[in-house]
Amino acid sequence: MKKTISIFFIFSFIFTTSLYTQKMYKVQYESQADLKVYVVSYESQADLKVYMVDYESQANKDGLWYNVSYESQADFKLYFVNYESQADLKIYFVDYESQAGWKDKSKEYLLKFKNQ
């Protein structure tokens, strides 16, 4: 019984950890993307404030993104557009992790964590 419980907790931890990340990959072509993104100049214009983290394990809430090296590793494939009108999501890069998060919660469905 203890062995079964231990295996369950180990599996739960591994499964849960992978569900709470937002791993991003920048694609070259719009047709490859899950989401079209535009980077705005001012925080007030953004739907989402983004902070790029150094480690995958740090990308554990909305707006904390981890950049992966390979498309197959990504939770979301992004294409950065040149014009705001082309974008599904407008983002603003912030300087501190604590600043990351949604400004326009109506767009949450675009990047919702897999556990929701």
Does 9 reside within a domain?
A: no
**Distance (Å, whole) CA 83 – CA 100:** 23
Does 14 reside within a domain?
A: no
**Distance (Å, whole) CA 52 – CA 104:** 19
Does 3 reside within a domain?
A: no
**pLDDT confidence of residue 113:** 54
Does 88 reside within a domain?
A: yes
Does 99 reside within a domain?
A: yes
Domain that holds residue 47: 22-105
pLDDT in tens, 8-28: 444 444 444 444 568 999 999
Q: How many domains does the structure of the chain reveal?
A: 1
pLDDT band at 60 (very low <50, low <70, confident <90, very high): confident
Does 7 reside within a domain?
A: no
Does 2 reside within a domain?
A: no
pLDDT in tens, 70-111: 999 999 999 999 999 999 999 999 999 999 999 988 998 887
